[in-house]
Structure 1
Amino acid sequence: MDLPADPLRFDPDADALITPSAPELTEPWPDRLVLCYFHEQIAALRERGAARLAGRFTAEMGGHGIHLVDAADGDPVAVFHPGVGAPAAVHHLERAMAGGARRVVLCGSAGALVPGLVMGHAVVPTGAVRDEGTSFHYAPPTEVVDVDRAVVDALVGLLAERDVPCVTGLTWTTDAPFRETRAAVGARRDQGCVVVEMEVAALLAAARFRGARLGALLYAADDLSGPAWDSRNWTTADARADLLTLAIEATGRIHASE
């Protein structure tokens, strides 16, 4: 469903007053990138010598380290935490795309909106409901931004090869996690959303605007499907380490846009 047009929210002109620049790395920027929301898993890769610190973002944006990991096929993959919330995540993605990142996988968690989605279950979004502001600066106003079908198929195929059960469906991207009311959750669930998070819609729109391809590998974290919120101690999920490993491999299954 199309939303009312607002000329102040989207301008298709790619020539903006400020052009994103890539942070300098000790090695060339790879075209494969994982946006990982698991600080402890990035640290674990580095501690066991599987990731090397190649640069950092500015302190104003959190100073997150940019790590390089050699995938099983030998290609380097950039891995970093992109910051919480759509504006921060897209800022970091923009700068990575300025360095040449074109095949991107988001690796993170999301709140379960449907009953029976146990903590740690893998979720591959097929699209994201745009309940945030950033995506509207990268794409005309529509209700949902879709994930490229080929990207969804690549991620689902990889999980099937590794015998990892997954759920597919829409995700609800919101700027306001403390305004996830019962009525809002019910409406999004009726719309086909299986999880809720804060970045996917904006990242999808920004990647497409810049000619990159992006998919998401999420796991069901806290639970919003019942009458009360259940945190489920979601940051302790065993799925986090496996999901990052899968995300690194998955970047090699995505073909760059023509």
Structure 2
Amino acid sequence: MRKSKEYGRNVFVGPVWTTDALFRETSELYREAVEKGCVGIDMECSAVFTLGKIYNMKTAAIMVVSDKPGTEKSFWNIEKFASELLQGLDDAIKIAFNTIVSLKENS
């Protein structure tokens, strides 16, 4: 979280609904996830965390918000927000890399 503040990025910590089913999120499932406290929807982390559990490895995720279901900032209007998304992805990569380097230096 400290590294993300160096880039002026907001940090949200909380449960994420992760699924490997493309476009599975319906309005009803989205509402249920929000009611359960989910702060995001993701498709990749389920595999990463499953493998981490199987092989007893520590796992983590850093995510970039690409859309907000049910608002004008949806996947379907992504070209309108492309520069924000690309900057967020670039910052996420830098934050992740710098965090890993810091962890290595402090171990």
Question: Percent identity of the aligned residues?
Answer: 22
CA RMSD of aligned residues (A): 2.4
Paired with 2:57 and 2:98, the residues of 1 have a C-alpha distance of 17
Q: Which has the higher helix share?
A: 2
Structure 2 equivalent of residue 68 of structure 1: none
Change (3 A) 1:253 1:211: farther
The alignment status of 1:168 with 2:13, answered yes or no, reads yes
Change (3 A) 1:191 1:242: same
Q: Which has the higher strand share?
A: 1
Paired with 1:241 and 1:176, the residues of 2 have a C-alpha distance of 26
Q: Deviations over 1:49-108 (max 9, x none)?
A: xxxxxxxxxxxxxxxxxxxxxxxxxxxxxxxxxxxxxxxxxxxxxxxxxxxxxxxxxxxx
Unaligned runs of 5+ in 2: none
**Equivalences for 1:45-124 in 2 at 5 Å?**
none
Paired with 1:161 and 1:190, the residues of 2 have a C-alpha distance of 32
Structure 2 equivalent of residue 214 of structure 1: 59
Equivalent of 1:252 in 73, 76, 101: 101
State the structure with more CA Rg.
1
Structure 2 equivalent of residue 241 of structure 1: 90
Q: Tell me the number of residue pairs that the alignment of Structure 1 and Structure 2 aligns.
A: 99
| Alpha carbons 1:213, 1:254 under 8 Å: kept | no
Q: Residue 196 of structure 1: SS of its match in structure 2?
A: strand
Paired with 2:8 and 2:67, the residues of 1 have a C-alpha distance of 23
Structure 1 equivalent of residue 74 of structure 2: 230
Paired with 1:170 and 1:159, the residues of 2 have a C-alpha distance of 19
Q: TM-score, normalised by structure 2?
A: 0.74
Paired with 2:17 and 2:24, the residues of 1 have a C-alpha distance of 13
Q: TM-score, normalised by structure 1?
A: 0.34
Change (3 A) 1:229 1:158: closer
Equivalent of 2:23 in 178, 181, 197: 178
Query: Relative to structure 2, which stretch is displaced further, 187-196 or 204-213?
Result: 204-213
